[in-house]
Structure 1
């Protein structure tokens, strides 16, 4: 194993603890490598890469990862909040008020808020892949029926955010990739973030997985997003830890960073306010707070903290009580499609929460 690449940290004990964890998880075979970045009170206090990217090359801190479901909170949910600020939609309106075909088969009362909180009753994902492209996906959703009463259950569903991504396109008149680039990523100077990672930049692109014996470079791992053309409201975004750090700091600043206002303070507060949902789950608008998907935090962060994870092994968590954010990027599906990022998240999360208590 190569030594950790380009470590920077203000706290030597924190550095040593996280390095030991990362190297142990790589040695166990849970992950091939990881980039970890921590911000605290407006400064980056830890930034390091461990292990390998592709072809046994040492991983660099500026590596570009498939973010998987972090797409939901880095692109789609903020876009919806921006459109709400502009008066183009209202969160408690039925989706069918804007997309009449969605009302079919008992979906007429599902609201935009229920999509954001995963209480719509839509199934988690498609049953079968007998469709093609974004239009095919939306037609399939429109013809489907809820699997639970809207508002009655928490069912984490990619379909919720596919619909939200389509609403962004409807209200803005732009594709989701173009809208997110123009209204979120470019103002924040997130120059390595987008649904279409730079072609030929394999030195920085981390393989998503292996298909038919060959590495996939810069192609979204999520099968649904891939079949939709690579970009969807639930998955498809690629980025770096440094870029995500800018996004996290923007939220901690109340929606602004370096003179670029992305969201109003009220929208940030609304997005990140804890909402008690069915089944004992607490979430914000898009954001996770206390659910089976955030069990890795173990309650170590403050009650007002929030974050999200991605299937490929990505995670971010933000704690406004301490002004701290944690970003963990890894590609657990490469090279054997059987890695596990949960132990890394849990162990690093405990160290960070202890290092920056309320």
Structure 2
């Protein structure tokens, strides 16, 4: 039974449409339209964050409280409920709403990523609403998976409010995660850019990890969304889901640009354009752009920048900014393979692989966790031609569609 059909069985929806067909509704919008009927009389634990808003930019927690729903506990993912913490920064207590316990699902240990049994005391429904950005590394999907699994063990039902994939659901990028490289930045074998919505990917991961299909979460699907639609074609407002994901432009380059996190290069954190620009002290941006060559769907602009925190904080870095001109043909994964290869060839003394612990893992290099194996790093170190690496590191789109088809809710 699909997650969609299970939702319709447990929480039947009204058949009438009260909005224009061209208007995309998130799962939260659908619930609001239907007067939150499936939630009334329930004792709720809520997993949400600052981007969990309706079309009128009202946060889900405020909506629930204003409508008299009983919210027992609120879980916050990485970056916290208000999305103020930086990456890998442990999140402590949240600003409290009177009478509501806030629990961080991103602390100082790997165990903190999963709700404990006592977190479901007095709860009969877990509601999850997080904005994913369409890349395997982004941790919010994994927070939902861990929470749904914990709820199932506690005998508590789960309900996922779906949101569109900001990058659409047509194109994929990168390889599958390989066995032995699972972490909080990649739980199950999916491509880097996977083309699934939050609910679709949660159900895929839940089943792949051995979850009983009987315990699949209920889903409130989006309405009006087609896989060809990018976020800015939905009419929905963009709220940054994390401090370094300020715009859709950031999400567009993220599938490849996040690889820079696994190196000593700056990925632009500490600037106003994280992930859109990258470099390091001593790098000549013009030479780098020339070495990379033409980029389908984008222009690389040489520049200097000075991060205000994290890598190379306070130092002037040379590099490039990615200006996407045709996102239908732009592939950030391919670009970053070319870019890292060029920097290794031209400035080997300015480049290194990140060696500190990354997302609670010490024994596997951060770059390998992000890439999904050690194959890409080994190829780059041995000077393999970028075109050959791209061919090797791209999972066939038709095979991925076949693998994920049972979990797809949208055309």
Q: Decide: shared fold, TM above 0.5.
A: no
